[in-house]
Amino acid sequence: MFRTAIKSSVLKSSCSKLVLLNLSSKLPSSQLVSVFNQHYNYNTYYRSFASTNINSSTRSTVIQLLNNIGSKREVEQYLKYFTSVSSQQFAIIKVGGAIISDQLNELASCLAFLYHVGLYPIILHGTGPQVNLFLKNEKIEPNYIDGIRITDPKTMKIVRDCFNKQNLTLVSALETMGVRARPITSGVFTADYLDQNKYNLVGKIKSVNTTAIQSSIDASCLPILTSLAETPSGQILNVNADIAAGELAKVFQPLKIVYLNEKGGIINGNTGEKISIINLDQEYESLLKQSWVKYGTKLKIKEIRELLNHLPRSSSVAIINVANLQKELFTDSGAGTLIRRGYKLVLKNNLTQFENIDLLKDALLRDEDIKSGKIPISYYLTELENSNFVAYGDEPLDVLAIIKRNNTEIPILDKFLALKNSWLNNVPDNIFNQIKLDYPSLQWTIREDDPNNSFYFSKSQGSYHKNGYILYWYGIENPNQIASLIQNFLDKPSTPIRKVKNFNDLNNNTKSKLDNKYSGGSTVFKNLTQNKQISTLSFRRKFSTNFTKYNLSSTSLSPLKSSFEKGTPVVKNENNKPSKIGIIGARGYTAQNLISMVNDHPLLEILYVSSRELNGQPVEGYEKQKITYSNFKVDDIKTIEKNKEIDMWVMALPNGVCKPFVEAIENINNGKSKIIDLSADYRFDTSGEWVYGLPEVNDRSKIANAKKISNPGCYANCAEIVIKPLLNYIGKDQVPSIFAVSGYSGAGTKPSIKNDVNLLSDNLIPYSLTDHVHEKEISSQLGIEVGFMPHVAQWYQGITLTISIPLCEKLTSRDIRNLYQDTYDNEQLITVNGEIPFVKDISGKHGVVIGGFGVNAKQDRVVIVATIDNLLKGAASQALQNINLALKYGEYSGIPQDTFIH
C-alpha cells in the first residue's frame, strides 16, 4: 500500500501522452514503478511516438514522478550531472539473467523512466539462470572450473539461444512501454580463447567495437547487449557478463556502472545490514581483513577496485536492486551499495604540513568572504597560523573543513568548503562523519541561503536562525550550555534581541523563538532538552564504516582550477524606484530588442528614443506610453541632461560615432547620468573610466558601481566566456583559434553582401579573416593572442563558435567539462552540456550554451563549441543585464524567464 493515498485521480491525456499524477507524498521507487505500470497507455503512446526526440511533456511528467522519490533539488542536481557528459557516458547497467525472468516489468519500467528523461544507459544482460534451467530440463549437469562455466559446443548453442531469447524479451518489453530499444547480440566484443583446453568456448575480451552502441544512441534507442564475443575468425565465445560490463566501462568511461541483482547491494556479514558506501582508497585494505569478506564478496570487491582504477575518480559502481534504481541514481540517500575510489582523508594541524600552500589557498577561495576580499586570504592564513586548529580534507582538498578551539568550550567548525562535484560523490559526508568521530560536540554558523543547508541540518542536533545566518550544533545536552551558545550568537552585531546570561534569563517571547518551527518561523530547534526531531529537509547518504585519520603530505594531485574568480551573481533588487532611460541610435536590431524587453521591465521606462532614419515615427514594441523617434543633436542631449531627466543613456550607434554624445553627457551636472555604449568605441579603454560589462567573467560589483559601461561584442562575449576558464592551461606562446559563424542579422540593417539573402542562399561568406575588431577585443580582455575567423551564413540570428584551445597540460574531456560546470554553476544564462550545441536551438534564447569538449588523443588540445544569440545575450539582453546591475535592479529583470536556455 502507498504510505498515503493518491488524493487526486489519474488524468489521462487525449493525445496518448504519459499520464499526469498528483502525488501527495514521497513514494518509494518501487511504488512509483507500479503507478507507472498501471497507468501508462503503452501501446497507444508507442504508436504515436514517431519522433526520435523525447516528448517534452512526457519528460516533464516523468521528472514529476522522480520528484516523489527525492527532493526537486536532488533530481535536478543529478539530471544536470548525468547530462553533463555525452549520452553513451551516462551509465552502463549490467542486468542479471534472473531479473529478466523474475522482474521484467519492474526492469523495463525503471529503464523507461531513464529513457523518458533523455538518458541512454548501455544495458548488458546475462543469462546464467536460464541456461542452468535448460540444462536441468535436459538432465545435463552444469560444469564449472574456478567459477567459470565450461562451454562445449552443445552448451554454447544453449547459451546463444538463451541470450537471444532473453535479449528479445527485454527489447519487446521496453518497446511495449514506448521505449525505442535496439537488440545488439554480436559484433561488440572481440576475444581470444581464455584457455581452450580448460574452458573450451570461453573468451577473454581483447577489444570493444563501439559502432553499434553509438549508432543505437544516436538514433535515440537504448542499446541492449549480450556478453557473447567472437574471435577474429568469427567463432562465438562465452564471456562472463560482469567482466564484459567492466570492459565496456573501460572504453566508455561512464559516470555510473550499475550491477542489478536480487540482494540490492553488499551485505555486512556481521550485522546483516546493507553497506551504503565503500570508499576504496580509504577502506579497501581494512575491508578485506573483515572476517565476512570472503569468496564471491572478496572477488567482487577486488574486481570493482581494478575496474575503477581504470576510470576517472568521478566514476562509481552501484550494486542495487532493480526496484530502487531511481532512488540510487537520483537521491542523496541512495538505496544500494555505492562503491567509488574516493580519497584517503588527510589531517593537518599546522600550516607547515601543507606542502602545497596554493592548494590550500584555492580551497579557501571558495569562501564568499575570502573570495570577495572582505577577509583577505593573507589575514586568514595568519590568523590560522596563530590558532589551535585542525584541518580535515580529502587529498586534493575538494573538501576542506577547519575546526578551531580558541578559548571556546565547544569547538567551532570555522570553514566547510566543498566543490560541487564532491557533493555528488558524497565526500562531505565522509569528512563530516570523521569529524563526528573525533569531536563529540561541535558548533558552526552558515548563511541561511547556503544551498547545502539541508546537509548541515541533517548533521546537527539543533539550530537557531537569526538575521540571515543559522547557528547549528550537535553533542550538547545541557540547557544552560545551549542557552550560552545561542547567547553568543545573539550578541553578534545587528541582533535586535537583548543580551542575556543564560537560558533561564530569557523572557517568554525569546523562549518561544526556540520552539520547533518546521513549517516556518525563525528556528528549527524544538526543545533544549530534546534531540532534534526528524527533519522535513533531505538527508544525505550515511557512511557505513569508520575511517582512520591520515597525516599525509600534500598530494601532487591538484584539482583543476579556473583562471578567474567570478563575483557572486547579483540578482537581488536593491532599488524599487523607477528609472528613466534614453536610447540614441535605435534603428538597429539590438535597440529594437532592448526596447521590447524594457517594455516588460517592472521599473525601467523609456523617455527618449533617437534615430535619424526613423525621426517622427512612433516607437513600435513599447506600450507603457506613446513615444516617437527623435533625431537628437548634441545640444539636445545637453538640454535633457541639465533637466536631470535621464538615469541611464544607451548608445546604440555605429562604431566611432558616440564620442560627442558621451562628452556632452559628461560635461553637464558632473555626468549625473550613467552611460552604456553598445559599440566598440570604449571596449579598449585604458583610462579606468569605462568598465567592461560581461558579468559572468568580470567583477559584478565593478559593473554595479560603474558610471560608464562598454557592452561586449557578440562574438567576443561568447568567446571570452568559453576561453577564460582555461587560461591557466594555455601555454605562453599558444594561440586558440576561433571559427565563428553568425546569422546575417549580425551584419546590421545597412545593406551589404553580408546580409544579402540571395547571395547567402546555400552559401557561407568569410570576412575580415585577420585583425577583426572582435579578435582584438577578445585578445585584449583575455590577455592572450587569439585567431578569429568570422563567417556569415544564411540563417537570420544566432552564432556558433568552434574554438580550438591548445593545452600545456594533459586534461581529459571530463576534467574540462567539470571545470566549466564548477565555474559557471551559479550563472543563470550559461549552460554547460556534454553534447555539441546547435545554433538553431539558441535563436531567440537569452544565454550561452557550451558543449562538445572534444580532446585529442595526446590530450594537449580541446575543441569546444558554443552558441549565443547575437541579438540577445550577444547584445540586447547583455546590455539589460548591465543596466540592471548599474541601477541596482535584479540582474535578470525584464529578461523573459521562459526564454532562458535552461
> How many contiguous H segments (helices) and E segments (strands) does the chain have?
32, 34
Cα separation, 516 vs 441, whole angstroms: 21
785-811 b/e (C-beta count within 10 Å ≥ 16 → b)? ebbbbbbbbebebbbbbbbbbbbeeeb
User: Model confidence over 555-596: pLDDT tens digits?
Assistant: 233 446 666 655 545 555 678 889 999 999 887 788 889 999
For the domain spanning 90-340, the CATH number is: 3.40.1160.10
62-83 b/e (C-beta count within 10 Å ≥ 16 → b)? bbbbbbbbbbeebbebbbbbbb
Rounded CA Rg of the chain: 31
| The C-alpha cell that represents 201 in the structure block | 568456448
Q: Give the CATH architecture of domain 714-876.
A: 2-Layer Sandwich (3.30)
Q: CATH 3.40.630.30 spans which residues of the chain?
A: 345-512
For residue 116, the model assigns a pLDDT of: 85
| The C-alpha cell that represents 128 in the structure block | 546464467
DSSP string, 139-179: T----EETTEEPB-HHHHHHHHHHHHHHHHHHHHHHHHTT-
Count of CA atoms in the C-beta half-sphere (13 A) of 158: 20
Cα separation, 287 vs 547, whole angstroms: 11
For residue 295, the model assigns a pLDDT of: 75
For residue 258, the model assigns a pLDDT of: 94
| The C-alpha cell that represents 899 in the structure block | 526564454
Residues near 733 by beta carbon (within 8 Å), at least 6 away in sequence = none
725, 566 in Cβ contact below 8 A? Answer: no
Q: CATH 3.40.50.720 spans which residues of the chain?
A: 579-710
For residue 168, the model assigns a pLDDT of: 96
For strands 91-95 and 256-260, give the pairing: parallel
683, 780 in Cβ contact below 8 A? Answer: yes
Residues near 514 by beta carbon (within 8 Å), at least 6 away in sequence = 464, 486, 506, 523, 525, 527, 528
Ranges under pLDDT 70 in the chain: 1-74, 332-333, 406, 424, 492-573, 671, 748-750, 898-902
For residue 589, the model assigns a pLDDT of: 84
CA distance to 284, 400, 546, 705, per residue, from 277 (Å): 12, 20, 11, 48
Length of the chain counted residue by residue: 902
DSSP state of 645: -
547, 573 in Cβ contact below 8 A? Answer: no
DSSP state of 323: G
Specify burial of residue 851 (Cβ count, 10 A radius: 0-12, 13-18, 19+). buried
For residue 4, the model assigns a pLDDT of: 27
Q: What is the dihedral of CA 806, 811, 817, 823, to 10 degrees?
A: -80
Number of Cβ within 10 Å of residue 163's Cβ equals: 25
Hey, what amino acid is at 414?
D
pTM over cut 0.75: no
Cα separation, 742 vs 433, whole angstroms: 53
Indicate if the alpha-carbon torsion angle 207, 280, 318, 254 is positive or negative: negative
| The C-alpha cell that represents 161 in the structure block | 539461444
Number of Cβ within 10 Å of residue 582's Cβ equals: 24
Q: CATH 3.30.360.10 spans which residues of the chain?
A: 714-876
For residue 405, the model assigns a pLDDT of: 84
Specify burial of residue 549 (Cβ count, 10 A radius: 0-12, 13-18, 19+). middle
For residue 745, the model assigns a pLDDT of: 86
Helix, strand, coil percent content, the chain, rounded in steps of 5: 35, 20, 45
Which residue, 393, 509, 488, is CA-closest to 445?
488
Q: What is the dihedral of CA 397, 305, 87, 203, to 10 degrees?
A: 160
Cα separation, 379 vs 302, whole angstroms: 47
For the domain spanning 345-512, the CATH number is: 3.40.630.30
Q: Which residues are known catalytic residues?
A: 714
Domain 579-710: CATH superfamily, name plus number: NAD(P)-binding Rossmann-like Domain (3.40.50.720)
Residue with cell 532534534: 532
Q: CATH 3.40.1160.10 spans which residues of the chain?
A: 90-340
Cα separation, 143 vs 215, whole angstroms: 37
Segment 655-658 long-range contacts (CB within 8 Å, at least 24 positions apart): 655/679, 655/680, 655/681, 655/773, 656/681, 657/585, 657/681, 658/584, 658/585
